[in-house]
């Protein structure tokens, strides 16, 4: 196993490719993503997306935020070679809804809002509340892990360059849905 900090920095591009691939999959093949959680009814980009472009040694960061913000600038950045480095997502299953952000380089989850849990009436309620919250957090953690596993299997398949990358390039050329 590589040194942790070396592996973190050397391969953080995989997290950026994962989030870019995820945008592509949300836009073009949601059914395939449902393998990550068969009860998932929707997965959408939320109110924040960050893209970075390091081409020609010039760092460019594009941040799009706001509930009604369109993704036109993000689409433009993709065409120039940027990748997604951070993404806010909305995940729905039945009547439940989770909102959270994923950072590409660390795959860490932040701003996680789970569906509301029952209010604590007494100290005896704590155990039930903790178990419920753990279950709700686990749904998101497992979703991210399963989505990443799906990406990784494609990423390290011999067909990656010839099939997946070509499809993503075509999707970027034709312009992803910008809303």
Partner 1 sequence: MQLLASTLSVTRYRVQGKPAEPVMDTVRNGLKDQMIREIDNDPAQKSIGWTESARPFAPDFESAQFMFGNHLVFSLRMDKKSVPAKIVAKHVNMATAKRLADNGQSHLSKNEKRQIKDEVLHRLYTRVPATPNVYDLAWDMEAGVLWFFSNLKEANEELETLFSKSFRISLIRMFPYTEADLAAGLSDHQRDALKQSGPALFSGGGHA
Chain contacts with partner 1 (rule: CB under 8 A): 1-2, 4, 7-8, 10-18, 20, 52-56, 78-83, 103-114, 117, 120, 126-127, 129-131, 133-134, 137, 140-141, 145, 148-149, 152-153, 155-157, 160-161, 165, 168-169, 172-173
Q: How far is the CB of 79 from partner 1 (least distance, A)?
A: 6
Q: Which is nearer to partner 1, 43 or 136 (CB)?
A: 136
Q: How far is the CB of 86 from partner 1 (least distance, A)?
A: 12
Residue with tokens 């449902």: 34
Residue with tokens 């509340």: 129
List Cα–Cα distances, 56 to 17, 80, 105, 176, in angstroms: 19, 11, 21, 25
| Radius of gyration for the chain, computed over Cα atoms and rounded to the nearest angstrom | 18
Q: Which is nearer to partner 1, 17 or 40 (CB)?
A: 17
Q: Determine which helix (DSSP H) or strand (DSSP E) holds 132, and give its type and residue range.
A: helix 126-155
Q: How far is the CB of 43 from partner 1 (least distance, A)?
A: 18
Q: Which is nearer to partner 1, 32 or 131 (CB)?
A: 131
Q: Which is nearer to partner 1, 8 or 44 (CB)?
A: 8
| Residues paired with 61 in a beta bridge | 52
* 111, 100 Cβ separation under 8 angstroms: yes
């Amino acid at each position: 196993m590589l040194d942790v900090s070396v592996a973190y920095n050397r391969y953080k591009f995989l997290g950026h490719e994962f989030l870019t691939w995820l945008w592509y999959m949300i836009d073009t093949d949601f059914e395939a993503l449902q393998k990550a959680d068969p009860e998932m009814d929707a997965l959408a980009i939320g109110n924040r997306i960050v893209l970075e472009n390091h081409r020609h040694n010039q760092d460019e960061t594009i941040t799009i935020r706001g509930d009604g913000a369109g993704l036109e600038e993000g689409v433009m950045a993709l065409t120039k070679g940027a990748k997604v480095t951070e993404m806010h997502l909305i995940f729905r299953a039945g009547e439940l809804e989770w909102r959270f952000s994923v950072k590409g380089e660390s795959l860490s989850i932040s701003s996680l809002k789970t569906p509301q849990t029952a209010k604590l009436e007494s100290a005896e309620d704590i155990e039930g509340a903790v178990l419920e919250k753990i279950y709700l957090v686990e749904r998101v953690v497992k979703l991210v892990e399963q989505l990443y596993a799906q990406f990784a299997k494609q990423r390290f398949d011999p067909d990656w360059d010839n099939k997946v990358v070509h499809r993503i390039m075509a999707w970027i050329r034709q312009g992803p849905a910008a809303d």
